[in-house]
Amino acid sequence: MIIFKNPTELQTHLSRLRQAGSDIGFVPTMGALHAGHTALIRHSKKENTVTVCSIFVNPTQFNDIKDFDKYPKTIEADVRLLIAEGNDILFLPEVKDVYPSGTAGLEQYPLGYLETILEGQYRPGHFQGVCQVMKRLLNHVLPKRLYMGQKDYQQCLVVKKLLDEFNGIELIAVPTVREADGLAMSSRNLRLSDTERTKAPAIFRALQEISNNIDKEPLPGLLAKVRSGLQSAGLRPDYVAVASADDLILIDDYNRQPQCIALIAAYLNEVRLIDNMLIEG
Ligand code: AMP
């Protein structure tokens, strides 16, 4: 595996590979890699000649400075895992490489409705930061295919919108990889204490409860019941919602929509976890 820290050197290398006919698959991450990330790498390796993974903890997407400061960093284990997975290139830039003019006064993206709900509502500025970093990373890598996790469903829709600015990059959304007890794998799980870890699968069970009962009882009552179940299990939900899977328009009447999605964000003490589940109509 080749490691690049400098964006210009990465660009030169990738443009040679592109000229030689290589398809480039790109997996952007913030590190502390787990089996969710490796699923993206494996998808990319199957479908492309060259896979580039980036590890960059992007300061502009953290609306909570404590969350940024405490974001897990396990770079040596990450490099070992990427080598074992046969990842071809690791892009490991520093903040000054990604934001050479600093992180103040950056461009704003017209995300409209998507930025006003769910993660957009509870993490003001988060998706602006996602777009700011993704645009820069994509400009360096110029992949043919971009791999992202369905676990961050709203992020996938935001990035899909951003891809309108690029020429034909295909976004592939990879299903969420879970622990045996249903907890969605996440780098933030490393921050959970043993007690918190035992409580965390309540989020997955809550999503199952919504999915299993959505056609049996009125949605507002079901969501309220699930929310209070999470509270009784020791979590503090930001939201428990159901939306149309296409555009995340929130719904309070199920009515057998073709496809909708249940989404939850909840705190376990200081750690904020998110998850979702697609529900076929
Ligand atoms: P992160 O390092 O958390 O920014 O995640 C990098 C990429 O991995 C994003 O596209 C995430 O959606 C994806 N990802 C994170 N956790 C999982 C998971 N459990 N299953 C599948 N993809 C994931």
Q: Is the CB of 39 under 6 A from ligand 1?
A: yes
13, 34, 37, 126: which is the annotated catalytic residue? 37
Position in ligand 1 atom list of the atom nearest CA 148: 10
Q: 26-47 pLDDT, tens per residue?
A: 999 999 999 999 999 999 999 9
Question: Which amino acid, one-letter code, is at 61?
Answer: Q
Q: Is the CB of 177 under 6 A from ligand 1?
A: yes
Beta strand spans in 30-152 (E): 50-55, 89-91, 145-149
The mean per-residue pLDDT over the stretch 52-73 comes to 95
Predicted local confidence at residue 131, as pLDDT: 98
Per-residue pLDDT for 140 more than 90? yes
Largest Cα–Cα distance of the chain, in whole Å? 58
Position in ligand 1 atom list of the atom nearest CA 147: 10
Predicted local confidence at residue 105, as pLDDT: 96
**Two tokens, residue 74:** 């396990």
pLDDT band for position 281 (cuts 50, 70, 90): confident
Predicted local confidence at residue 258, as pLDDT: 79
Per-residue pLDDT for 227 more than 90? yes
CA distance 62 to 192: 19
Task: Let me know: does 140 contact 147? Beta carbons within 8 Å.
Answer: no
Centre of ligand 1 to C-alpha 165, Å, is 23
Predicted local confidence at residue 280, as pLDDT: 82
Predicted local confidence at residue 255, as pLDDT: 81
Predicted local confidence at residue 257, as pLDDT: 74
pLDDT band for position 276 (cuts 50, 70, 90): very high
The mean per-residue pLDDT over the stretch 143-163 comes to 98
Helix (H, G, I), strand (E, B) or coil at 137: helix
Q: Is the CB of 137 under 6 A from ligand 1?
A: no
* DSSP annotation string for 1-47: -EEE--HHHHHHHHHHHHHTT--EEEEEE-SS--HHHHHHHHHHHHH
Per-residue pLDDT for 183 more than 90? yes
Ranges 60-74, 133-147, 255-269, most confident: 133-147
- In DSSP terms, 28 is beta-bridged to 54
Predicted local confidence at residue 159, as pLDDT: 98
Query: Candidates 26, 34, 37: which one to mutate for ligand 1, based on the most atoms within 8 Å of Cβ?
Result: 37
As a whole number, the mean pLDDT across the chain is: 97
Per-residue pLDDT for 256 more than 90? no
